[in-house]
Copies of this chain bind each other. A is one copy, B any other.
């Protein structure tokens, strides 16, 4: 296919068209993914996640700008400037056509830079559909040769966990004043963080936020907790290797003010540090494998269910559903009737 070669060569129009096919899950989109797959698995995937109001978009914007700087430095195993792809996952909003607005706002800074590719996507309705579509779009960007792919997601909960499964490095973004300690605990997304970011850290309450995060880290990492008893609790905020044979990554806490560009270089260094950790410990390979396996599981599930439904007589399904709605059978009993008792 001509379009495949164009995507591999990094042709923007071909990439954009390919992404649309993949996002819409067309047969052509699946063919593209099958053909591109051998060329994937190269770019580090950086997930950026956190509650609304933490300034994730600005942070992604600033990181992209940082990666684009011409410099002698090497980041993520590559000479700067890096070719950067951004995928921003916005929930579908009939209110705004959110994705388009998002693009415009984000594009202001990076518009016209041929080394940056930005794509916003709406979330799909189906459970699991979002992470599958995102995984496919990331594969297209990866095959197209981008050096790093930033994945921004909104929301808390399952969608964050899915991003963490997809990304090599997950940034969890907090901001001062978004809630009390209990709320922060409830959010419960700290466990997926490779790096904790306190954005808007020039606001009042940054100290409190950092203290709360730090004490949660201590609960999560008993080794770090022991470390505290040696009076060196300060080191908790840096990457600390417990045992060279089994290196342990303790999420560093990075402060940023994305709108001013403050702390961005340090954050990029922490990302690079985590990348090296992944490569040196073999965790990169482990994450790749876990990611591919979870993608396989999701596709299997979807395919099994849709094939079974195609083979089920609609009238039988409707009959059982009617009994369920009249509460003559329970949901579990309905499942048994549909799977075991259906006419051949």
Measured CB to CB, the residues of A under 8 A from B are 30, 33-34, 37-38, 40-41, 51-54, 57, 90-96, 98, 101-102, 105, 123, 125, 127-128, 130, 154-159, 161, 177-180, 182-191, 216, 219-220, 288-289, 292-293, 295-296, 299-301, 303-305, 307-308, 321, 324-325, 327, 329-335, 338-339
Contacts and interface: CB of A to CB of B under 8 A. Distances in A.
Contact of A332 (B93, B299, B321, B332): B299
A128 B57 CA distance: 28
B304 A53 contact: no
11 contacts: A33-B331, A37-B330, A53-B177, A53-B179, A57-B182, A101-B185, A156-B156, A178-B178, A296-B321, A296-B331, A303-B335
A333 to B, nearest CB: 6
B95 A216 contact: yes
A301 B301 contact: yes
A301 B282 CA distance: 35
A185 B330 contact: no
A330 B90 CA distance: 27
**In the A-B complex, the 7 residue pairs with the closest CB atoms:** A53-B179, A155-B157, A91-B188, A155-B156, A37-B330, A93-B188, A53-B178
Contact of A188 (B51, B98, B157, B330): B98
Counting chain B CB atoms within 10 Å of each CB, the highest count among A130, A220, A307, A334 belongs to A334
A330 B101 contact: no
Contacts of A178: 51-53, 178
Report how many copies the assembly holds. 2
B154 A154 contact: no
Nearest to A130: B158
Contact of A98 (B125, B185, B304, B330): B185
Contacts of A130: 158
Contacts of A187: 52, 91, 154-155
Contact of A300 (B57, B288, B292, B338): B338
A324 B179 CA distance: 43
Contacts of A91: 156-157, 186-189
A143 B285 CA distance: 50
